[in-house]
Amino acid sequence: MDTRPIGIFDSGVGGLTVLTELRKKLPNENYIYIGDTKRFPYGSKSKETIIQISKRIVDTLISKKVKLIVIACGTATSQALEELKQIYNIPIIGIIEPTVENQMNEKVKKVGVIATRGTIRSKVWETTICKKNPSIAILSKETPLLAPMAEEGWIDNEVAKSAIKEYMKDWKEENLDALILGCTHYPLFEKLLRKELGDTIKIINTGKEIAKSLEQYLKENDLKNEGIGTEEIYLTDTESNFLNVAKQLFHKEIKIQKIDL
């Protein structure tokens, strides 16, 4: 048994969709979450900037004695994960590899990926999917308005509906087998995406895939906690909208602490 917490970080509220899935799958674990709301959004920042920000957050999580770190952010995963793995002697997991490993099987012939500008332009999803299954046809699209709307809590209003409709209009006739939500903010729009793309497409929430893979990893490495799980949530800048979205996800009031990074 290992009672040390699991560290999680994101640019803002999106990573809470990952924390929610981890809580469902691994309710006995302790979690420390850092939302870097001061520097949101990450999607338009350079690779070098993302790496420096991520290092600062990882250093903070390590100082809090975490046993592993989950990068609950598509942009930070695509831009910084490999560099962080080379620097730190602690397990660091991103959103991409667990999703591809669990979902990109022989049943998938055509997949769409939506994510931030930085993630899509890195082509890391295409590279990782092709390594796993080179026969899959991949469509990718930058959807930069969605994460800011999620941060504002605009997840089911007319602005959100119009944005989703515009982003998905070219894909409605593509006969996609699956749609990967390549930013952790995007599960908040799953209902709207489903409405545009129909019931036959599989919408893949990366948080669920991380939870599956992490459960197996903890078991194999004897790192599971058997106690009563707790969570500490830190923000680099206090946001009232964060609390509103968090309440929708957790169905309860949560305590937020300020952290300087």
Residues 6+ apart with CB under 8 A from 158: none
Q: Which domains does the chain have, with CATH numbers?
A: 6-94+208-258 (3.40.50.1860), 97-205 (3.40.50.1860)
Is 240 annotated to bind a ligand? Reply is no
CA dihedral 27, 29, 30, 31 (to 10 degrees): -80
pLDDT in tens, 34-60: 999 999 999 889 999 999 999 999 999
Q: Which one of the listed residues 57, 129, 179, 183 is annotated catalytic?
A: 183
pLDDT in tens, 158-182: 999 999 999 999 999 999 999 999 9
Q: Which one of the listed residues 73, 120, 214, 218 is annotated catalytic?
A: 73
pTM of the model: 0.94
Q: Which residues of the chain have pLDDT under 70?
A: 239-240
Largest CA distance in the chain: 50
Is 251 annotated to bind a ligand? Reply is no
DSSP bridge pairs for 204: 180
Active site residue 183: yes
CA 259-15-222 angle, 5° bins: 95
CB 21 within 8 A of CB 246: no
